[in-house]
Chains A and B, each alone.
Chain A
Amino acid sequence: MKISYNWLKEYIDFDKSPEELANDLSLFGHEVENIEKIGDDYILDFEITPNRGDCLSILGMAREIAALYNLELKTKIYELKETRLNKNIDVKIENPQICPRFTARIIDNVEIKDSPAYVKEKLASYGFRSLNNIVDITNYAMIETGQPLHAFDFDKIKDGLMGIRKSKNGEEVMTLDGVNRVLPEGAIIIEDSEKIYDLAGIMGGIKSEIDEKTKTIILQGAIFDPVLIRRTSKKLKHTTDASYRYERGVDNEGTINGVDAATALIQENCPEAKAGELIDIKSKEIVLNKIELDINKINHLIGIDINETEAQEYLERLSFKIDNNITTVPSFRNYDVKIWQDLAEEIARVYGYNQIEKLNIKNPEKKTPANSDWQKREAIKDILVGLGFVEIYSYSFAEKQKVDLLKLDAKGCIEISNPLSPETQFLRPSILPSLLAQAAKNPWSPDVPLFEIEKVFENDQEKWQLGLITLGKSDKMLPSALQGLNLQVEPRNIEQSILDAYKIRRAAKVVVVDINNIEIEPSEINYNISEKKYKKISRFAPSVRDISILVDESIHSESVKQEIYKIDDKIFLVELFDEFISPKLGVGKKNIAYHVWLQDEKGPVEEIITNEIFEKIVQTLEIKFKAVLRS
């Protein structure tokens, strides 16, 4: 929601820069996402929460600023020349619920022309296209007052009849955007004896449209049922500035102000125009919410200690009225403030959330009950990581094609009814497709030993599953993993046709087992967190080469690794994969071997560069560690 900084100043004198105002209002509950300078004005773009329909206007936001800074709101009084016209409308509201309030004015002798420059400019900064003076003024006054307004061509409506009712399924109306809309049941429409000419609260109809020949208009500012507007707007997939406001709740007591604001602008713009008397139909009286103000409850909920007088002052700044501890909610907040906890939030907002003292919650008297399911899964992860496996997280979805390929139970697959893409159409019935897909992402890695523990879904059920996969010679790691988890299962060798489908160029072995079928001893969870920061990954393939050296037994493989990292910034990852002592190597000697991953953000690492870096590595290790290259 965009709000003009200069326009706010018509309603309130405040002495804050746009940035200060944005910051203060953010802390008051209206987050500012962006500030844009347009000419000598600033447009603040707010994220207004759906309960605050009252803030979708200059007036509404000015009210909040008045409460925030404890300033006086300068309400506008419109001095209008009213004329008794011999034209009239006949408003028939089928059910008071759909249109509890209908306010309008007939304005005769208007001249349809271009809008004044200041109106055009303001509308442009709000993203509205300028059409003509009348339509522009209704938009302008809506932005200012929050009241959606619509102007009908009086002469296009037969006998001035405005029949307001719910639509029947399949009725049609052509809206101002030229779209013929087939209506669902329960849209609000306006009709005369011949035609439906308005989709009320959402968009006007072509059949009552203002055009260059229009002489007389009906300027309407009504209240329509938020739920009906929302349902229709959703069903038609059509949201407008009017429907957006209606579904969030428009002030029942603001209709006259909206109509008057527009009337004043029209009279200023068309001096010959004659404004008729105000038509104001309250088909349903608004009942303002009344809430008991209990300061003890409020202090207890928020953790502050204020007295009743302070609470009353805070609420009055927000236009609430208090009489004998009974708070009456202002009409523009009636959709949203209903219970005493809502009052507590209002008081806390004015008090300042950041003024509330931070408290420690007391330590529990008893030991926290353990969650043995969670602990078991985490213990399994620790065992597998200890044996060299890498944990993956993959999506819970599976493609139909892969489910069929793997001969999983396609019938038992749970389907998503509104997937954004085929990839999210089914939930995975097994962790297997994910394992294969993720293993396939690592064609350059010498070792690929992966595991995942996550939910799988089948026949309306979900369960935790463990999946292990190894590619190529990493399969030598599987026996110890199975032993570590006390599992007596034979790993599955993945068939060539499946490997081809996943573009895996090495043999793959997998183990898939339900967590319920694993039994392990409870153990302490490893709570350490890595202190390493993310190193940017090139979008080009890495080049991986091994180096194997002979060094003194006393040399730490970790120090050698750190030394290798220092040699060139293309060295991305250095992994120790072998370390052993053997009589064949000589007394006091050991063999250590690393995979060295090189990458370059600018392109693939060329062979010649790789060779250069490896020569440097060998030289450095010879000097620093008296290392002898083995391969």
Chain B
Amino acid sequence: MSGNLHPLTQFLRQSLKYFEDLGFQIAEGPEIETEWYNFDALNVPADHPSRDVQDTFWIKSSEKKVLRTHTTGTDVRFIKENNLKPPLRLVVPGRCFRNEATDQTHEHTFYQIDGIAIDQNLNLGHLIGLLDGYMKKLFGDNIQTRVRPHLYPFVEPGMDLDVKLPNGKWREMLGAGMAHPVVLKNMGVDPEKWQGIMWGMGIDRYMMQYFQVDDIRWSYSGDLRFLKQFNEKS
């Protein structure tokens, strides 16, 4: 009798493969993160509404710690702790948390794949090309993408990327942009010399779209009726 890899594992592996083949090293970090790495290092101001966008689980402890709301903070931590110098390429998968009620389309637990590449000549065009290539690899060459300006405090310029669904509507897939000079500095990188491309994407929804799953909560249900559906042979 054959077992089953969870569909999220299957999807994560596919995604990471795309970036690994382009030279991105898999980097990981803690799920309990300091407030500094999760927010401050990413240029998210303490007294600004942009901190409201993410509902955060706070840890009861002396130091201000959170369950990370994204793996973006891990980019900074990994580069700092390992004293990495550019040029560099990292892809950062991991479990993240938002303190919100769960329903068919919302989960307090989810997986993100964040990434960063720093080099002298990487620009917004490279970022768009990289992410467009990812969508084509995962969802097929015919998938159409578009980008829109958007605010994320850790990037400037910032953007969202959408894909066109079969029904003709656009669906927002991820946020990305050029690393903000403050964030580069926090990584110990000179923003006058180097440019960084960054993105973050939520894998749970991609997995749902790929397998046409109707409820985000199935992933964490432990129900074999769900888990046994996605074996390799079709």
**A609 in the interface (beta carbon within 8 A):** no
Chain A, residue nearest B17 (CB): A527
When the two chains form their complex, are residues A385 and B3 in contact, meaning their CB atoms are under 8 A apart?
yes
Set of chain B residues within 8 Å of A558, measured between Cβ atoms: 233
Partner of B3, one of A51, A227, A341, A384: A384
User: A580 an interface residue at 8 Å Cβ cutoff?
Assistant: no
The smallest C-beta distance from A349 to any residue of chain B, in angstroms, reads 5
Q: Using Cβ atoms and an 8 Å threshold, which residues of chain B touch A526?
A: 5, 13, 232
**Does A581 sit within 8 A of B, measured CB to CB?**
no
Q: Is the CB of A359 within 8 A of B1?
A: no
Comparing A7-15, A24-32, A106-114, A262-270, the segment that makes contact with chain B is: A24-32
Report the bound CA distance from A474 to B78 in whole Å: 41
Among A492-537, those with CB < 8 Å from B are 525-537
Interface centre among B49, B108, B195, by most chain A C-beta atoms within 10 angstroms, is: B49
> A462 contacts B31, CB within 8 Å?
yes
Are A416 and B228 within 8 A (Cβ)?
A: no
Count of residues in B whose CB is under 8 Å from the partner chain:
95
Partner of A394, one of B3, B47, B160, B220: B220
Q: A302-B157, A391-B5, A393-B8 are in contact. Are A530 and B148 (CB under 8 A)?
A: no
Set of chain B residues within 8 Å of A373, measured between Cβ atoms: 28
Contact with A along B5-18 (1 / 0, CB 8 A): 11111110110010
Closest A residue to B191 using CB positions: A341
Once the chains bind, are A361 and B122 in contact (CB under 8 Å)? yes
- In the complex, whether A144 has a CB less than 8 A from a CB of chain B is no
Question: Does B36 sit within 8 A of A, measured CB to CB?
Answer: no
In the complex, whether A418 has a CB less than 8 A from a CB of chain B is yes
List CB contacts (< 8 Å) of B108-164 with chain A: 108-109, 117, 121-126, 128-130, 132-133, 146-151, 156-160
A205 CA / B218 CA spacing, docked (Å):
50
Hey, what's the 0/1 contact readout for A550-582 against B, CB within 8 Å counting as 1? 000000001000000000000011011100000
Q: Does A603 contact B (CB under 8 A)?
A: no
What is the interface residue range for chain A against chain B? Answer: 35 or more
Contact A29 B57 (CB under 8 A): no
Docked complex: B1-47 residues within 8 A CB-CB of A = 1-11, 13-14, 17, 20-28, 30-32, 47
Q: Is there a chain B Cβ closer than 8 Å to A488's Cβ?
A: no
B26 contacts A392, CB within 8 Å? no
In the complex, whether A84 has a CB less than 8 A from a CB of chain B is no
A596 to B99, CA, bound (A): 40
Inter-subunit contact B9/A391 (CB<8 Å): yes
- Please judge, given known A-B contacts A359-B129, A530-B7, A530-B232, whether A301 and B124 are in contact too, CB under 8 Å: yes
Grouping DSSP codes into helix (H, G, I), strand (E, B) and loop, the B interface class, with mixed when no group exceeds half, is: mixed
Do residues A572 and B125 form an inter-chain contact, with CB atoms below 8 A? no
Are B128 and A356 neighbours in the complex by a CB distance under 8 Å? yes
Chain A contacts for B219, CB-based, 8 A = 393
Residue A360 interfacial (CB < 8 Å): yes
Contacts of B95 in A (CB 8 A): 396, 454-455
| Nearest CB of chain B from residue A81's CB, rounded to whole Å | 40
Q: Is B213 in contact with A51, judged by CB distance below 8 angstroms? A: no
A448 adjacent to B224 (CB under 8 Å): yes
Which residues of A have CB within 8 Å of B232? 526, 528, 530
> In whole angstroms, what is the CA distance A421 to B227 when docked?
26
Residues of A370-414 contacting chain B, CB below 8 A: 370-371, 373-374, 378, 381-382, 384-396, 414
Q: Which of chain A's residues have a CB closer than 8 A to the CB of B31?
A: 396, 455, 457, 462
**Stretch in A161-169, A325-333, A439-447, A618-626 with 4+ CB within 8 Å of B:** A439-447
Is A41 part of the contact surface with B, judged by Cβ < 8 Å? no
Q: How far is the CB of B27 from chain A (nearest CB, A)?
A: 7
Given A302-B157, A371-B27, A534-B212, the answer on whether A419 and B22 have CB atoms closer than 8 Å is no
What's the least CB distance linking A589 to chain B, in Å? 21
Shortest CB distance B159–A (Å):
6
* Alpha-carbon distance between A392 and B214 when the two chains are bound, in angstroms: 18
B151 touches A50 (CB 8 A): yes
Instruction: State A528–B233 Cα separation when bound (angstroms).
Output: 10
B229 interface hit (Cβ, 8 Å) = yes
Give the CA-CA distance A48 to B202 in the complex, in Å: 22
Query: Once bound together, how far apart are the Cα atoms of A392 and B31, in whole Å?
Result: 19
CB distance from B190 to the nearest CB of A (A): 14
CA distance A268 to B215 in the complex (A): 55
Residues of A within 8 A of B181 (CB): 339, 341
Whole-angstrom CA separation of A442 from B225 in the bound complex: 9
Residue on A with the closest CB to B160? A31
State whether the Cβ of B83 lies closer than 8 Å to any Cβ in chain A.
no
Residues of chain A lying within 8 A (CB to CB) of residue B2: 385-386, 388
Min CB gap A421→B, angstroms:
8
Name which residue of chain A comes closest to B107, CB basis: A395
B21 to chain A, nearest CB (A): 8
List chain A residues, Cβ under 8 A from B210. 529
Cα A251 to Cα B57 with chains together (Å)? 34
Cβ of B105 within 8 Å of any chain A Cβ, yes or no, is no
Contact B229 A534 (CB under 8 A): yes
Q: A536: which of B24, B178, B214, B223 is its contact (CB, 8 Å)?
A: B214
In whole angstroms, how far apart are the Cα atoms of A389 and B26 in the complex? 26
Structural contact, A227 and B125, CB atoms closer than 8 A = no
Chain B residues, CB < 8 A from A389 = 3
Cβ contact within 8 Å between B3 and A371:
no
Interface residues of B in 157-182 (CB under 8 A from A): 157-160, 178, 180-181
Additional A-B contacts beyond A226-B47, A387-B3 (18; CB < 8 A):
A31-B160, A50-B52, A231-B47, A345-B149, A360-B129, A361-B126, A381-B5, A386-B2, A390-B224, A393-B8, A394-B220, A414-B61, A417-B60, A420-B99, A424-B108, A534-B211, A573-B225, A576-B1
8 closest A-B pairs by CB: A438-B222, A364-B23, A303-B125, A29-B149, A303-B123, A345-B157, A49-B151, A358-B129
Q: List 19 A-B contacts (CB under 8 A).
A: A230-B48, A353-B159, A358-B125, A359-B125, A359-B126, A360-B130, A361-B126, A366-B23, A382-B5, A384-B3, A391-B6, A391-B9, A393-B219, A393-B220, A419-B99, A529-B13, A530-B231, A532-B231, A536-B214
